[in-house]
């Protein structure tokens, strides 16, 4: 394991440490640091960010931050936050044609609740999908740690029976993902391929960055050669170049796939890709539960650590 892999694993561990979280949240982090990655805690903050992004010709998908909910009231609150968000986006004319969609975590909608957790989360997701459909847009189901992969894919199958445009997320660091790509590379299937941002054991996932990159390319080949709609979620210039080459080899129209990047990361490259005629979608998180999200962003790109630490050391 090289130094970057060690740092990544350490940051993923920190994302689960409540005591460290308390220190970070109480530190004098400048507002600009957090807002580089999260536009704000309120719906108005993210609607403003999505409006600006749409004005530059880019698409977006919005995530209301939170996961691993074990309280029914909180799961209902998350559902209601998405319904209110979609209504606001629709009223601003941002949902038509899928300009802005939303990304859901089933664990935030109640999947981990005792008893009927899976049904509760699925029912909440259905309500969100119904409103999204009426607003002219769609939904993507975010993937979480490997213990929920099968449950998430089962929910995907159920939702697609009524909402066929619901998107899936697959994580290249899992050994199983090539097979999942083959299963989902069919007509009408929207698949976001990312590297993966959770700490997973060696029994289920590649541990080195080099192996994850190789898996990403293998998975991307399957998706580009399939009949679905690949969503290339990466900030890696080399992988982005490979994605373009694979799309060309497969004879894909630029409208038949898209690139995706996170809010606040490589914004100029996002605009460059959009300006050249390719589709670029920005993943925008918002809400109070930013800590775990921020730590995973640090883990994905360790160069972000210095940016963040400089902010921690700076008075607001």
- 216 or 294, higher pLDDT: 216
Higher pLDDT, 5 or 169: 169
Q: How far apart are CA 66 and CA 35, in angstroms?
A: 17
What pLDDT score was predicted for residue 314? Answer: 43
170-179, 226-235, 294-303: lowest mean pLDDT where? 294-303
Catalytic status, residue 192: yes
Report, as an integer, the average pLDDT of 293-298: 69
Q: What is the mean pLDDT of residues 199-224?
A: 95
What does the pLDDT read at residue 22?
61
How does 286-310 read in b/e, with b if 16+ C-beta sit within 10 Å? bbebbbbbbbbbbbbbbebeeebee
**Which of the following is catalytic: 63, 142, 145, 180?**
142
pLDDT at 4: 54
**Terminal C-alpha separation, the chain:** 37
| Catalytic pick among 8, 79, 190, 192 | 192
Please provide residue 285's backbone torsions phi and psi, each rounded to the nearest 5 degrees. -95, 155
| Phi, then psi, of 76 in degrees rounded to 5 | -65, -35
| Residue 19 a catalytic site member | no
Question: Cα-flanking dihedrals φ and ψ of residue 51, to 5°?
Answer: -65, -45
Name the CA radius of gyration of the chain, rounded. 18
Mean pLDDT of the residues in the chain: 88
HEC sequence for 142-190: CCCCHHHHHHHHHHHHHHHHHCCCCEEEEECCECCHHHHHHHHCCCCCE
Residue 5 pLDDT grade (very low, low, confident, very high; cuts 50, 70, 90): low
Measured between alpha carbons, how far is residue 206 from residues 125, 174, 175 in Å?
Answer: 31, 6, 7
Checking 309-315 for CB contacts under 8 A at 24+ apart, the result is 310/33, 311/29, 311/30, 311/32, 311/33, 311/34, 312/24, 312/27, 312/28, 312/29, 312/33, 314/28, 314/29, 314/30, 314/33, 315/28, 315/30
Q: Angle 117-135/149-162 helices, nearest 10 degrees? A: 40
Q: What's the confidence (pLDDT) of residue 36?
A: 80
- Residue written as token pair 């005792």: 114
pLDDT band at 218 (very low <50, low <70, confident <90, very high): very high
């Amino acid at each position: 394991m090289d130094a970057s892999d060690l740092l990544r694993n350490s940051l993923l561990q920190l994302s689960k440490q409540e005591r460290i979280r308390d220190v970070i949240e109480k530190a004098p982090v400048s507002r600009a640091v957090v807002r580089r990655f999260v536009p704000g805690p309120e719906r108005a903050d993210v609607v403003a960010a999505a409006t600006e992004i749409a004005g530059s010709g880019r698409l977006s998908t919005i995530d209301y931050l939170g996961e691993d909910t074990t309280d029914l009231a909180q799961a209902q609150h998350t559902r209601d936050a998405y319904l209110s968000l979609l209504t606001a986006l629709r009223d601003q004319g941002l949902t038509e044609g899928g300009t802005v969609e939303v990304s859901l975590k089933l664990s935030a909608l109640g999947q981990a609740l005792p008893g009927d957790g899976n049904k509760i989360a699925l029912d909440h997701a259905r309500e969100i999908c119904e409103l999204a459909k009426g607003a002219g847009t769609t939904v993507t189901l975010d993937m979480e740690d490997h213990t929920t992969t099968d449950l998430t894919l089962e929910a995907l199958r159920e939702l697609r029976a009524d909402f066929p445009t619901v998107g899936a997320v697959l994580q290249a660091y899992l050994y199983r993902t090539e097979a999942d790509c083959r299963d989902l590379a069919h007509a009408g299937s929207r698949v976001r391929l990312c590297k993966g941002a959770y700490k997973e054991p060696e029994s289920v996932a590649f541990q080195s960055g080099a192996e994850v990159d190789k898996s990403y390319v293998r998975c991307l080949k399957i998706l580009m050669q399939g009949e679905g709609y690949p969503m290339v979620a990466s900030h890696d210039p080399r992988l982005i170049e490979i994605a373009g080459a694979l799309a060309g080899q497969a004879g894909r129209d630029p409208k038949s796939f898209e690139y995706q990047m996170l809010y606040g990361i490589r914004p100029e490259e996002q605009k460059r890709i959009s300006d050249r005629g390719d589709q670029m979608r920005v993943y925008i998180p918002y809400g109070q539960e930013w800590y775990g999200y921020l730590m995973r962003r640090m883990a994905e790109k360790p160069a972000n650590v210095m940016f963040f630490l400089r902010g921690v050391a700076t008075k607001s």
